């Protein structure tokens, strides 16, 4: 069977709750985020996942993703990887979309990018690196990372331009699975929050 990639977005933080662009700022998880990470772990340790024996685990080196990984029970198997860092939002770090729209009407991150930060080409290249790695594995892989980089990975897994990521939102502590259908890359599940109910 061709490998799948399981995508786990980190738990809720103060900035994700308020809608602030949180790139490289190392914002800690809220208690709600810690609880969600534990519930995600419980889900991944029961059927049909059964703890994902033998899975290759990678995490963003930022604390909110690493702690989510640890609380979910995969910290001892995880390797930090810079390719999973969130988008570097440059001058827009810590701003909400409304804040940015006030100074730049009509702005759309997936088209316009960010000043003084990572380019659209740069995040596409990192997403492609993750997709290539996952497809080269002979087993499923599990990654813990951030909203925009995971959405970018979703778009690139499907072979679509990076701006497709605008159409596939992700909530904190969500679980998504990218796999195959009829030999083509496919979304098996997206933004699944069943473990939080």
Q: Domain boundaries in the chain?
A: 5-196
Of 118, 120, 144, 117, nearest to 130 by C-alpha is: 144
HSE-CB at 87 with a 13 A cutoff on CA atoms is 32
Per-residue model confidence (pLDDT) at position 72:
98
Q: What is the pLDDT along the chain (197 residues), one digit of tens a residue?
A: 468 999 999 999 999 999 999 999 999 999 999 999 999 999 999 999 999 999 999 999 999 999 999 999 999 999 999 999 999 999 999 999 999 999 999 999 999 999 999 999 999 999 999 999 999 999 999 999 999 999 999 999 999 999 999 999 999 999 999 999 999 999 999 999 999 98
pLDDT of residue 12: 97
The CATH number that domain 5-196 falls under is: 3.40.50.1240
Tell me the backbone φ, ψ of residue 135, rounded to 5 degrees. -70, -25
Q: Mind giving me the DSSP string for 13-67?
A: BHHHHHT---SSS-PPBPHHHHHHHHHHHHHHTSTTTTT-TT-EEEE-SSHHHHH
Q: Which residues are catalytic?
A: 10, 86
Binding residues for substrate: 22-23, 64
Specify the pLDDT at position 197.
85
């Amino acid at each position: 069977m061709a490998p799948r990639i399981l995508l786990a977005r980190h738990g809720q933080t103060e900035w994700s709750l308020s809608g602030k662009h949180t790139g490289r700022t190392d914002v800690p998880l809220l208690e709600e985020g810690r609880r969600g990470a534990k519930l995600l772990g419980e889900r991944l340790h029961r059927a049909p996942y059964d703890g994902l024996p033998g899975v290759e685990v990678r995490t963003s080196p930022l604390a909110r993703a690493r702690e989510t990984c640890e609380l979910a029970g995969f910290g001892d198997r995880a390797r930090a990887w810079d390719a999973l860092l969130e988008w570097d939002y440059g001058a827009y770090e810590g701003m909400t979309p409304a804040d940015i729209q006030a100074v730049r009407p009509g702005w759309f991150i997936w088209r316009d990018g960010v000043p003084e930060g990572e380019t659209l080409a740069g995040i596409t290249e990192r997403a492609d690196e993750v997709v290539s790695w996952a497809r080269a594995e002979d087993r499923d892989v599990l990654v813990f990372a951030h909203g925009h980089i995971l959405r970018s990975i979703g778009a690139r897994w499907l072979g679509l331009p990076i701006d497709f990521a605008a159409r596939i939102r992700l909530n904190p502590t969500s679980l998504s699975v990218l796999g195959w259908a009829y030999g083509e890359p496919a979304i098996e599940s997206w933004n699944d929050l069943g473990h939080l109910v």
